A and B are shown apart, each in its own frame.
Chain A
Amino acid sequence: MNKLGQFCIATLCMAAPFTATAGEIGEIQWHGFLTGAYMATSGAGEDVHYAGDVSDNGTTKDTRLGLTVTTQVDEKWRFAAQMKAKGVDDFQMEMDWAYATYDYSDGFAVNVGEIKYPVGLYNEYIEVGYTYPWIRAPETFYNQDIFGPNLTRISYSGVGLEFSSLGDESETNLNIFGGLLDVGDGHVNQLIGAKLGFNWADILRLQLSAATGLMEIEAGPRAAMNGERHTSYAAGIGLDMESFVFSTEISAATMGVDVMDSTSGYVMMGYRFGDFMPHVTYGHWDVKGGWGQKDITLGLRTELTSNTALKIDVKQVTPGDKYNNNDVSAGYGLFNAKPEEDKVLIYGVALELVF
């Protein structure tokens, strides 16, 4: 959370008096989400971790609580901010994002602050597990570890211009954004990107995006990329009919170091039988250096109430077989070291709640 985001949330708190249920001009609304998750690997071996802290010992570190606060300050200005506490951060409450929006009209709005990163069909609500079928959105596209595909982040600091055109049942959006991206061990400076989205009746979603920036990483395993340009392209299709659910996204990314160039994506299909939705997902992450991965996930989402869902996922991961020794990255797929088995099972259960 940078100073711009802190300024936005401070302004929000001063701008409007608290009420629990209102939503009129000058009043604040609170909403929240909770994920209780357990995940474990089978066949990874001792001290081998998958995409963070998932190991044979199991982990609850995907468990998280979030609170979102929004207010309409006047007829044109509104503020929104999200705080979250995650198991992986020992449940320390921290600001996720905070930004102000000026609604010039239904066709044009300007966002300023620490803004949700708009690339990807699911990224803008990636922390809210209730909104998608899996326990984790496909890691071959959405993983944010330094070893991952490096396509998405939670938020960026800067300005976003949103142009919208509303049809009878459709909505077309163009989001042009620019600023600074925090990548954990450094920054992507001079970030500029664009996302073109189309939504038809919330049934069909199409998305194209491109983003580029200059990396500033002075230490750590990615220091070789310091000063290099990071560029990514992504395309996605989402289909959500009454019963049939489908989504797919593909991407290509370059990071100025030849062996790090990668393509990635996934395809998911699901079918709703009343409150139950079984689904299957195939994901791939191909890195020029050879240490990507392929995975297949079988999952079941069950609606317990209108705001609570239970999920069970089983994933089989086949990591790439080339270990990278040039200190740019290291790992087999999204594992931190070579797993014992060629194919590793990852299983998990999660309870998702929004309120």
Chain B
Amino acid sequence: MKTYVSTLMLMVVLIFTAAIAHADEVVLIVNPANTLSELTLKDVKKIYLGKSKFFPGGGKVIPADQLEKSTVRKIFYEVMIGKSASRLKAYWSKRIFTGKGTPPIIKKNDEAMLAWVAEQPLALGYVYRKSVNDSVKVLNLK
């Protein structure tokens, strides 16, 4: 009986954790007119670090960030870009003050990001999966 209860509790915890993890999943979004359906992690890093100014297909890209202290941005940079806030600040300082690039524009939350991506054909953004609606297209990450 004790083993059964323990197993049941473990399953509940796993299901609950999976649900939270899914709710916190961050996805990449583009304008529905964009013909891309997927990006590699390498492409995402290049675009968000300003090293690539074009989508893999050749079209111009305008990436957007969320607010510096937002959780969604923290998850995005830790999981996809792999840079801490201070290292990112130092990185962008070098590019900004040589005229080589500027950091992505800022959208204040998922709602603002979705509205902007829906309007901007060159947009690339990220939001929680739970926030996605039909106005944008979710890119698969290869």
Contact = CB atoms under 8 A, between A and B. Distances in A.
Nearest to B49: A202
B86 interface: yes
Contact of B102 (A25, A31, A168, A303): A31
Interface residues of B, number: 28
B94 interface: yes
Contact of B86 (A33, A81, A106, A303): A303
Contacts of B42: 168
Interface string B83-122: 0011001110110111110111110000000000000101
B69 to A, nearest CB: 10
A171 B53 CA distance: 14
Contacts of A220: none
Contact of B99 (A80, A306, A354): A80
Contacts of A31: 96-97, 102
A101 B98 CA distance: 12
B135 to A, nearest CB: 18
Contact of A97 (B53, B91, B99, B122): B99
A131 B62 contact: no
A106 B54 contact: yes
Contact of A106 (B52, B98, B105): B52
A354 B99 CA distance: 15
B104 A116 contact: no
A257 interface: no
A127 interface: yes
B94 A131 contact: yes
Nearest to B104: A23
B60 A75 contact: yes
A318 interface: no
Nearest to A99: B99
A168 B40 CA distance: 10
A103 interface: yes
A41 interface: no
B54 A130 contact: no
B97 A33 contact: yes
Nearest to A111: B99
A333 B106 CA distance: 48
B97 A22 contact: no
Contacts, number: 76
Interface string A84-110: 000000000000010101010110000
A190 interface: no
B106 to A, nearest CB: 7
A254 B99 CA distance: 30
A248 interface: no
A310 to B, nearest CB: 14
Question: Which of B42, B54, B96, B120 has the most chain A CB atoms closer than 10 A to its own CB?
Answer: B96
Interface in A1-35: 21-25, 29, 31, 33
A320 to B, nearest CB: 34
A125 B46 CA distance: 21
A31 B89 CA distance: 12
Contacts of A33: 93, 97
A212 interface: no
Contacts of B85: 306
B51 interface: yes
Given A68-B97, A116-B98, A23 B105 contact: yes
A354 B89 contact: yes
A22 B103 CA distance: 11
B91 A202 contact: yes
Interface string A57-79: 00000000010101000010000
Contacts of A116: 98-99
5 contacts: A31-B97, A106-B52, A128-B97, A166-B52, A354-B97
Which 8 A-B residue pairings sit nearest by Cβ, starting from the closest?
Answer: A80-B99, A23-B105, A75-B60, A124-B98, A128-B97, A125-B97, A306-B86, A31-B96
Given A22-B105, A131-B94, A354-B97, 20 more contacts: A21-B105, A21-B106, A31-B96, A31-B102, A33-B97, A66-B97, A68-B97, A68-B99, A70-B99, A75-B122, A97-B99, A101-B99, A106-B46, A106-B53, A125-B94, A125-B98, A131-B93, A166-B46, A166-B51, A303-B86
Interface of A: 21-25, 29, 31, 33, 66, 68, 70, 75, 80-82, 97, 99, 101, 103, 105-106, 116, 124-125, 127-128, 130-131, 166, 168, 171, 202, 303, 306-307, 354
